[in-house]
Structure 1
Amino acid sequence: MDPLFKGTGLRRKLSIYLVLSLFLIVADYQIEAMQKVRSWLSVAVTPVQWVVDLPEQSWTWVHDRLQEREGLLGENRQLRAQLMLAEREVQKLASLTAENVRLRELLNSSQKLDEQVRATQLIGVNPDPFIHQIVINDGSQNDIRVGQAVLDQTGVMGQVTATSPFTSRVLLVTDANHAIPVQVNRTGLRSVAYGRGDYNQLELVDITQTEDIKVGDLLVSSGLGMRFPEGYPVAKVTLVERDPGREFTRVLAKPTARLSLSRQLLVVSTAHQQQQELVEEQ
């Protein structure tokens, strides 16, 4: 118990405290010396106020830094997204440029021919490794007919074997069931190039030992059979193997068409095929 108020009641204590409080309040405003005391006390208490306010200031600083960091991270993510979009546009532009080059090459190749041509695009590949067949995005509704030749900008791809209203199937020259009449561009020697089920090989099986053919010779379509346009590149000879014990020379050739890469193609109708279509329409 406080000695000052020893033996006094609770009410008396409260009264004394109130009187002292009122006295200090009045003295603080009326007595000039008290203002100096208050100023000294404020100076003395200032470090305590700083210490008390330090946690809040620290938290505010950390909070502001975190918000700035989150803002910077968000801005960084946004910039990265914009960069990816820009890179995608650049890639798309490069793809469109390459596609335009391929289309110009196709146009140039079609100008070499007197036949009717139609630009088309590859949309599917037969997954069976033993069947070399592709699907194009034009069909009977676009006047695509069975037997028409299909070319890319570098050579003969194959021929149409089946059509539906909106798509067609094309058997590639390398399929084991495909054959195309060819001739050696250098000498005019005629033969037939058979598919071997290998995208990189065709075989000529009826070349005698005395025929003039050598590695590097260009094989072009001969036009015989009236399905493939005459004079279009088919393959280049890669192997000429003459064996005195055999009647025929073994000749292998690599297709000039980019069978596994080309997407923009041409469907060609020879003059004979166009005449047949006119007869059928009549």
Structure 2
Amino acid sequence: MPLGTLDRSPPPFFKQGPSALSKLMVCSALALFLMVADARFRITQPLRASVATVLFPLQWVAMRPVLAVRTVQDYFTSLNSALTNEEAARRKLILQSQRANQVEQLTTENTQLRKLLSLRERLSTPAAAAEVLYDAADPYTRKVIIDKGMAQGIEPGSPVIDESGVLGQVTRVHPLISEVTLVTDVDQAIPILNTRTGVRGITYGDAGRHGTGGLELRYMAANADVQPGDLLTTSGVDGVYPPGIPVAKVVKVERRPDSAFARIVLHPAALVDGARHVMVLKPMLNQIPARPAPEDPVLPLAKRQAIRK
């Protein structure tokens, strides 16, 4: 065979196009161009919208089983939660009904006993609604400012309560606002009564001195009958707070052998850090009838001398 007739071109297996590095560079440049163009000119937005429109029916069909399973799970979860809440509500309603009957019975007995013993009726305490404006700027005290002052008849020393219990006491009155010292302030003291034992005491604000930020029941003997969970209410013996208003609950009782007094940590009943609407009561001392003046001992002596004459 003549050499001129031979095919000198290499077979396809040995043919080589552009190098791999060239392909990588071209593809990278193309990808970078597409990303920049899409970010700047939104050239692929119509394409994406078209693809999304075409694939939406498939996605909708594929999501139906998942949504059905979720709907069934939510239904049974909601049903279980509703049954649990209904049972809790029924129990609470029964308990409240029982307590209401007891309160009504005790109120009737109290009225009868007071009439039997000829005791005076309990004083009705006038109150004024107020709103907490802001906390006092002094970081070393626990005080808030309310939107009622002298113009609304607020008096210094007036007790301040919220829906849960005693919040504090008015310590400074301005024409349109008043300053309320909270029960957790270190300078605040409230005479209390343990509703379980009937023992009286005095609570003092802790204001974080021992890391609790609550109250303390001080000067109670180490063997005093005080237990965690005891409810402490105002005793009413100070002439400021009406009796029976919740003040705090006992959280912890520490009885140390090296001290004659127990360290009793309390949690305030009122929302001292989140109260918004409060009631300002009139001090009880202004409502108690004044004590009659003592009789002059000279007058009976003059009367006796007149009788003798």
Counterpart AA for 1:221: T
Q: Does 1:246 align with 2:259?
A: yes
Matched, 1:135 2:148: no
Alignment of 1:81-160 (within 5 A): 114-160=124-170
Whole-Å Cα distance in 2 between the matches of residues 243 and 144 of structure 1? 44
Q: TM-score, structure 1 length as denominator?
A: 0.56
Matched, 1:220 2:230: no
Distance (Å, rounded) in 1 between the aligned partners of 2:183 and 2:123: 20
Taking the aligned partners of 1:118 and 1:211, their CA distance within structure 2 comes to 38
Query: Which 4+ residue blocks in structure 1 deviate beyond 3 angstroms?
Result: 274-277
> Is contact 2:247–2:269 with CA below 8 Å preserved after alignment?
yes
Residues 151-205 of structure 1 show CA distances to partners (whole Å, capped at 9, x for unaligned) of: 0000100000011111100000101111111111111111110011137410111
Structure number with higher relative contact order (C-alpha < 8 Å, ≥ 6 residues apart): 1
After superposition, where does 1:167-182 map in structure 2 within 5 Å? 167-182=177-192
Give the Cα separation in 1 of the matches to 2:287 and 2:148: 18
How many angstroms does 1:113 deviate by? 7.7
1:193 to 184, 189, 203: 203
Say if 1:200 and 1:255, in contact at 8 Å, map to a contact too. Answer: no
Is the contact made by 1:116 and 1:270 (CA closer than 8 Å) also made in structure 2?
A: no
Distance 1:276 1:125, change over 3 A: farther
1:228 shift after superposition: 1.1
Q: Identity over the aligned pairs, expressed in percent?
A: 36
Q: Which residue of 1 aligns with 2:102?
A: none
The answer on whether the counterparts of 2:240 and 2:284 sit within 8 Å (CA) in structure 1 is: no
Pick closer, same or farther for the CA change 1:168–1:276 going to 2, 3 Å: farther
Residue 216 of structure 1: how far off its partner (Å) = 0.6
Q: Is the 8 A contact 1:150 1:158 kept in 2?
A: yes
Asked if residue 255 in structure 1 is aligned to residue 268 in structure 2, the reply is yes
Measured after TM superposition, the shift of residue 255 of structure 1 is 0.2
- Of residues 164, 174, 184, the one that matches 1:164 is 174
Aligned residue pairs: how many? Answer: 166
Give me the whole-angstrom Cα distance separating, in 2, the residues matched to 1:233 and 1:135: 22
CA shift for structure 1 position 116? 0.9
Q: Which residue of 2 aligns with 1:8?
A: none
TM-score by length of 2: 0.51
1:231-242 to structure 2, matched below 5 A, reads 231-242=244-255
Q: Secondary structure at the match of 1:272?
A: helix
CA distance in structure 2 between the partners assigned to 1:228 and 1:271 by the alignment: 6
2-structure distance, mates of 1:143, 1:275: 19
Q: 1:184 aligns with which of 189, 194, 206?
A: 194
Within 5 Å, which residues of 2 pair with 1:51-70?
Answer: none
CA distance in 1, matches of 2:152, 2:228: 40
Tell me the residue number matched to 2:280. 267
Query: Which residues of structure 1 form unaligned runs of 5+?
Result: 1-111, 278-282
Unaligned runs of 5+ in 2: 1-121, 291-309
Greater CA drift, 251-260 or 193-202: 193-202
Residues 113 and 185 of structure 1: CA distance in aligned 2, closer, same or farther (over 3 Å): farther
CA contact (8 A) 1:243 1:249 kept: yes
